[in-house]
Amino acid sequence: MSPPSHGAPLFTRRPSRKARSLTPLAGLLGVVLITNALIGLFGLYYAHQGTVANFAELDSLTVDLDAARRARGDFKVQVQEWKNVLLRQDEPGALERYWDGFRARESATRRTLEAMADRATARGGDSTSIRALLDEHAALGEAYRAALAQGKAGNAKAGLAFDTHAADARVRGMDRNLDGNLDNLALKTFAHAQRRQKEMIEEGQERYETLRATAGWGLAGCILLVGLFLALAVRGDRAGR
């Protein structure tokens, strides 16, 4: 019988029963750590997405609030430009200048309201009331144009090249309803922004509570599993002695 070579061990040490029982435990602990890390990452992503969405909506609502106030201001200037047409039309070049100012403010009001309606639709909201204001504004613009044409027709009997009285009588007071509706739009937009801000705070608190509960239950479950496996490992170790 030849002697064993110097490079080969005489005995191969087998891992103890205790070491063998702790190996799965180490794997389980790794799974627990990875699971908790994934829960934490999901929680961060969930909170981040909610915060980004809330900031985007708040930004849109702030833009709408400014737009509602701007539309109201532009319309008031539009009406004032019409009054300037009536009061100063006899000055050289005044009629065309003030009428151009009227049309510029009219376009600005329309663009602002259209943008508000588009943003409301993009948010999934109801833009019906804003569209109704656009229709009312367009109809009023046609009335002003008809009044201007009537004024330019003049009054031959009175010897007037521009009949200010007839033009004024045709649209007198017609702006009041739209003016009030634009005031209400600004007030409603402000109230809606305040309400949504409060709701977002409550939604953020609800997300926090949900994440805390999920993380707590996940951690409790992991601890329970580790404890159960430890108990089984200890029992198996005692039984093998």
Identify the residue with better confidence: 166 or 5: 166
Which residues partner with 155 through β-bridges?
A: 160
pLDDT, one tens digit per residue, over 12-29 is: 555 555 555 556 666 766
Instruction: Assess if residue 20 is contained within a domain.
Output: no
Identify whether 142 is part of a domain. yes
204 occurs within a structural domain: yes
To the nearest whole percent, how much of the chain has pLDDT over 90?
43
- pLDDT class of 11 with cuts at 50, 70, 90: very low
Residue 237 lies in a domain: no
Contacts of 117 (CB under 8 A, 6+ apart): 127, 130, 131, 134
Q: Which domain holds residue 89?
A: 26-229
In this predicted structure, what is the pLDDT of residue 96? 93
In a domain, 165, yes or no: yes
Residue 1 lies in a domain: no
And the tokens for 128? 């019906």
Would residue 40 count as lying in a domain?
yes
Residue 160 lies in a domain: yes
pLDDT digits (tens, 9 = 90+) for 182-220: 999 999 999 988 898 888 888 888 877 887 777 777 777
Q: pLDDT at residue 32 above 50?
A: yes
Question: Over 80: is that where the pLDDT of 40 sits?
Answer: no
At 229 the pLDDT is 72
| Residues forming beta bridges with residue 160, ordered by sequence position | 155
State what percent of residues in the chain have pLDDT above 70. Answer: 83
Its pTM stands at 0.67
Question: What is the total count of domains within the chain?
Answer: 1
